[in-house]
Amino acid sequence: PPFPISLVGPVQKGFGRGGKDLGCPTANLPDDSITPISSVAKTGVYYGYAQVIPPQESRGDFQTDDLNVLPMVMSLGWNPFYKNKVLTAEIHIMHNFQSDFYGYEMRAIVLGYIRPELDYVSREALIEDIEIDKQVALNCLQRPAYQVYAKDSHFQHQE
Ligand code: ADP
Ligand code: MG
């Protein structure tokens, strides 16, 4: 696929497939916002950068560092809720947020592919793989050539 791929949309409520219990909450983008990736990319796990932009009236719920452009892993997969006919993009941002951010604008730049979707024999195996994905993402984003994307005009920057 032609990376970088830019995505933007309001964070939607998911179907509680256990993101938070797995220690890995995933912020869902609305279906119509993921066309730039769903039309070109295969299902699986991706890495890149994301930023959450609260509306003015909710700005007080966020700390300054919650506004940063942050490393993320994204899962692109067929949504079982829609009988696997609809693709869903879910983003886990590698940052400890002060609060949830449902409805807030999320912006992302997807930079690369990590792996296909896999079937897991256990919850532990899944959690282990998510940990590996995060390490892979952080390592990949070390490349100086990628760091320019954190400063891209797709994101909002202070001053
Ligand atoms: P849902 O099924 O609604 O997507 P999750 O358990 O996956 O529920 O939690 C996702 C929500 O958690 C996000 O929409 C966001 O509001 C919140 N959240 C808190 N921290 C993060 C994070 N680091 N990355 C992604 N979402 C987060
Ligand atoms: Mg989720």
Instruction: Given the residues 90, 117, 124, 128, select the one marked as catalytic.
Output: 90
Interface ipTM: 0.99
Ligand 1, atom 1, lies closest to the CA of 14
**Alpha carbon of 159 to ligand 2 centroid (Å):** 32
- Tell the burial category of 40 from Cβ atoms under 10 Å away from its Cβ (0-12, 13-18, 19+): exposed
Residue 42's region, left for phi above 0, alpha for psi from -120 to 50, else beta, is beta
- The predicted model gives 100-117 an average pLDDT of 96
Residue 115 neighbours by CB under 8 Å, 6+ apart = 44, 45, 133
The pLDDT score that the predictor gives to residue 18 is 67
- What is the tens place of the pLDDT at every residue in 29-84? 999 999 999 988 899 999 999 999 999 999 999 999 999 999 999 999 987 777 88
The pLDDT score that the predictor gives to residue 121 is 84
